[in-house]
Amino acid sequence: MGKTHLAVRPKQRSRLRLFAGKPYFIWKRYVKWLTEKKKVANTFSRDALPCKVFEHATPLLRKLRKVDMQLQYNKITNLRLAVQKLDGLIIKPGETFSYWRRIGKPTRRKGYVDGMVLYYGGFKSGVGGGLCQLSNLIYWMTLHSPLTVTERHRHSYDVFPDEQRTQPFGSGATCSYNYLDLQLRNDTDTEYQLKVWLTDTHLHGEWRAAEPPLYTYEVYESDHAISLEPWGGYLRRNSICRRLIARDGSTAFDEYITDNTALMMYAPLLKEDAR
């Protein structure tokens, strides 16, 4: 039986709601941090764990229509500061990784500068802008590991076309300090280590482990569709799934991960399921 999708219409937020809503959710998260009893990963090691589980890299600069390239150069400054807070982090069995608890609040005092921030289907400049590239990378790598994603927020808007996109639509994780967090838990019996660094051209990352995992992971999308909604906009949808490949090459499991729905902010080239 196919999935039934409701028509999703963009919500218009009042200026008061936009002004008051963010501080409310930020302080709500602070209270949660103070009261929750999770074991948060806070151990670092300069020495890399012996087993590479998965690696990935994404380009630092991408020419985008109507986007000032200086914001992307500034993004590199922000990424360099953030990776210093994450590179070498060890996640022991039972521990949780929190993106924002490790990085902290991006401020000018810490050296962060104005980068591009996606904002209600468009973009603006903001201190620490561009750190979503790092959360996207970590989420994508985690889908190729046995680590458990316990909090992830999808992008509500599909802002830029697929040109130069190497991952499926909807395979990233948006972030905003501190209430849109990316959190992972180590439910295995071995230590995992996050390695992240920049070269002149790319942001690189690896998950490493003390022992090799039982499976490798093949992440793919299914049920991709673009639909013209009654209110006049286009929505893009898909599901993210993955196959767990055993060491003998056989498929041990094929599992659903998540659904994505996003409002398209550009004219689509309709090739499938447009109506």
pLDDT in tens, 17-43: 555 678 889 999 999 999 998 999 999
| Higher pLDDT, residue 120 or 70 | 70
How confident is the model at residue 266, as a pLDDT?
A: 79
Residues ≥6 apart with Cβ < 8 Å to 263: 8, 10, 121, 156, 157, 158, 233, 234, 235, 236
3-class SS at 158? strand
User: What pLDDT, in 10s, does the model give residues 140-174?
Assistant: 999 999 999 999 998 888 877 766 677 888 889 99
CA angle 226, 269, 239 (to 5 degrees): 30
Instruction: Quote the pLDDT of residue 117.
Output: 82
Per-residue model confidence (pLDDT) at position 16: 60
Which pLDDT does position 8 carry in this prediction? 57
pLDDT, averaged across the chain: 88
Q: Which of 144, 172, 170, 147 is nearest to 237 (CA)?
A: 170
Q: What are phi and psi of 159, to 5 degrees?
A: -85, -35
Identity of the residue numbered 5 = H
**pLDDT tens, position by position, 44-66:** 999 999 999 999 999 998 776 66
- Alpha-carbon span 9 to 237, nearest angstrom: 14
Backbone angles phi, psi at 194, to 5 degrees: -95, 125
More reliable by pLDDT, 68 or 137:
137
- Does position 271 have pLDDT exceeding 80, yes or no? no
Pairwise CA distance, residues 19 & 119, whole Å = 13
pLDDT for 6 equals 46
Note the Cα 260 to chain centre separation in Å: 13
Provide, rounded to the nearest whole percent, the portion of the chain with pLDDT above 90.
67
DSSP code at position 108: G
Instruction: Label residue 13 by pLDDT band (50, 70, 90).
Output: low
User: Tokens at residue 128, please?
Assistant: 């620490």
What is this structure's pTM?
0.89
Contact 116, 123 (CB under 8 A): yes
Which one has a higher pLDDT value, 273 or 222? 222
